[in-house]
Amino acid sequence: MPNARFGVLLANLGTPAAPTSEAVRRYLGEFLWDERVIDVSRPLWWLILHGVILRIRPRKVAKGYAAIWGEDGSPLLAIGRRQQRALAERLAEQFGETLPVELAMTYGQPSMETAGKALRDAGAERILVLPLYPQFSRSTTAAVFDRLARALKPCPHLPELRFVRDYHDHPAYIGALAASVREHWRRHDGERGRLMMSYHGIPKRYAEAGDPYPQHCQATSRLLAAELGLGEDEWLMSYQSRFGREEWLKPYTDMTLKAWGQEGVEHVDIISPAFSADCLETLEELEVENRDNFAAAGGKTYRYIAALNDRRDHIDLLAQLVEQHSRGW
């Protein structure tokens, strides 16, 4: 495909190559060494990471991946490939021409270098970078920027770049989330539990230093609740997946679910708007681990609402973002 008008680079976090301790150790070693993710002093963190964490954590994490691994491999990568293909098809309809769309991970494969070469081979001199993170955080979206810059550093001929920073309040994003919740309610004959909107957490000090992530999560939650017509007592926003001993953004998802069960809340629907594709944090942590937490505390009905994945309305949103950010190309 020579001389494409521009190309699209979809970016997500990453995944181990296999659900094994060795593969998880390699993946975590790359992921947790990123200063955007963990900003502890490098010499000290090297000792902690290689002396403790990478000796203990990979075996436990590998068990989680093994539980969700499918015939087509890691759910995050498999869904990412479906999103890539669906977006390419949607853009061909929208623009009346074929535009190259590639998928890259910040950590692991497919790498930024692999995706960049594919776009270059397609003749794309302009690249729109679309991180699949609705809410901006230094630990996710900014890490994509750093990783891409590192991949481009040895290139003698740089492409023109545009970067989608966030889309946390985009009407089509809120509409797609709301549609997924309504469809979930319909599948259960209109039965509604208290809606928990669970976002991946970050250390509290990142927010205190200026990371706008909590404000973006709050805005998404308020807009989604309003779109669904929920009262203040019918929903709650929380944060999951904390790591280490320091304080992270609150309220914590797991602790809140335990408290709800003990307080007599019987029915919960849970959605994670921060994730554009189902992965370990949704399929294992939310759908299994936190279900057990809620049930053990006395809760009865716990239902996970899937990520937007490759739903048509989600792909339409991504196509809208491409159209809006590529104007003039």
pLDDT tens digits for 186-228?
Answer: 999 999 999 999 999 999 999 999 999 999 999 999 999 999 9
Cα–Cα nearest to 119, from 82, 78, 148, 147: 148
The C-alpha angle 272, 278, 280, rounded to 5 degrees, equals 95
Would you state the pLDDT for residue 15? Answer: 98
Would you state the pLDDT for residue 68? Answer: 98
Query: Residue 8: helix, strand or coil by DSSP?
Result: strand
CA 252/CA 237 separation, integer angstroms: 9
In this prediction, residue 1 has a pLDDT band, given cuts at 50, 70 and 90, of very low
Would you state the pLDDT for residue 18? Answer: 98
Q: Is the pLDDT of residue 262 over 60?
A: yes
Q: Is the pLDDT of residue 7 over 70?
A: yes
- Can you state the percent helix, strand and coil of the chain, rounding each to 5? 50, 15, 35
CA 21/CA 25 separation, integer angstroms: 6
Cα–Cα nearest to 125, from 93, 90, 100: 100
Q: Enumerate the known binding-site residues.
A: 200, 281
Domains of the chain with CATH codes: 21-68 (no CATH), 171-305 (3.40.50.1400)
Would you state the pLDDT for residue 4? Answer: 80
Counting DSSP H helices and E strands in the chain, the numbers are 13, 8
Provide Rg for the chain, Cα atoms. Answer: 20
In b/e form, how buried is each residue of 100-134, taking b as 16+ CB within 10 angstroms?
bbbbbbbbbebbbbebbebbbebebbbbbbbbbbb
The arithmetic mean of pLDDT across residues 155-183, rounded, is 97
Q: Is the pLDDT of residue 2 over 80?
A: no
The arithmetic mean of pLDDT across residues 287-301, rounded, is 97
CA atoms within 13 A on the CB side of 94: 18
Q: For 12-51, what is each residue's pLDDT tens digit?
A: 999 999 999 999 999 999 999 999 999 999 999 999 999 9
For residue 301, count CB atoms less than 10 angstroms from its CB and return exposed for 0-12, middle for 13-18, buried for 19 or more.
middle
Q: For 221-242, what is each residue's pLDDT tens digit?
A: 999 999 999 999 999 999 999 9
CA 158/CA 207 separation, integer angstroms: 33
Residue 265 near residue 191 (C-beta atoms within 8 A): no
Output phi, psi for 161, to 5 deg: -120, 145
Q: Which amino acid is at 263?
A: E
Cβ atoms within 10 Å of 329's Cβ, excluding its own: 11
For residue 48, count CB atoms less than 10 angstroms from its CB and return exposed for 0-12, middle for 13-18, buried for 19 or more.
middle
Q: Enumerate the known binding-site residues for Fe(2+).
A: 200, 281
Q: For 299-327, what is each residue's pLDDT tens digit?
A: 999 999 999 999 999 999 999 999 999 99
